Amino acid sequence: MKELVRPPRLAAGARVAVVAPSGPVPEERLQAGLDILRGWDLDPVVGAHVLDRHGRFGYLAGTDADRAADFLAAWCDPSVDAVFCARGGYGVQRMADLLDWDALRAARPKVLVGFSDITALHEAFATRLGLVTLHGPMAAGIDFVKNARAQDHLRATLFEPESVRTIRSAGGQALVPGRAGGVLLGGCLCLLASELGTPHARPSAAGGLLCLEDVGEETYRLDRYLTQLLRAGWFDGVAGILLGSWEGCGPYERVRDLVLDRLGGLGVPIAEEFGFGHGEGALTVPFGVRAELDAGAGVLTLGVPALV
């Protein structure tokens, strides 16, 4: 697995676009997120359909075509330096094939920020554009608008990425001790499993440091996702595994036992509680950058800053 192209960091006055490729966005939270971005001396612009709601399927932020059009317009706008997803939920997979990937590829590299359902875009940007993306808080997400830790770490990653090259576990243990190096990838477990066989999914995690997290999934469903990925050979050759948050996934001890049962046999380092994902105060992790994991010490060290 090769390192990907790093987009430029942001500077004061940068123009950033906010789009909604997945679920509907609460207007109050969107405005709060925009105020934070303005407080960072950024110039946020909002996609035309960010506050839309699909007429028949209320879990979507407008039609697939409109969500795709907003995303494409934001990414291809030469004045825009970063694209922030407003929230996750569901919907990226419905619009991914409507995007003009040739046009996206022709646009200059810029920052993409999001997580959860945006995992499908992280995968697509890696395979189709070869571009580093940021698995981090979203502009209208509860964690972003209310949690200083999430805000501060994302801001540092965007403006001073050399200052956040080390991420430490929040007191977790090494489920499987050891050291490993590889290119960071991953995201929401259920999305990685559901992406199997699609045009934008990578064939395996070989050579990568895999970041896994999820939210609101019962243990048997997590078991199903992990087992599906194992049976598909997707974990073959993975270098190491980092676990993020498992909010609403039942007793964490059971999740830990499941991960060991399903993935412990891979014989690679596995470390927990790295603070990314759906948990409070989520940290930002750059996908596509090479890093070193010391599972025993609970430390992830980026080989280079997330952005140039």
Q: Which residues are known catalytic residues?
A: 116, 213, 278
Question: Tokens 């790093």 belong to which residue?
Answer: 6
Q: Identify whether the C-beta of residue 54 lies closer than 8 Å to the C-beta of residue 60.
A: yes
Q: Identify whether the C-beta of residue 113 lies closer than 8 Å to the C-beta of residue 83.
A: yes
Q: Identify whether the C-beta of residue 154 lies closer than 8 Å to the C-beta of residue 114.
A: no
- The vertex-137 CA angle with 135 and 139, nearest 5°, equals 125
> How far is residue 37's CA from residue 10's CA, in Å, rounded to a whole number?
12
Which residue type does 8 have?
Answer: P
CA trace torsion 189, 137, 111, 305 (10° rounding): -90
Which residue type does 274 have?
Answer: F
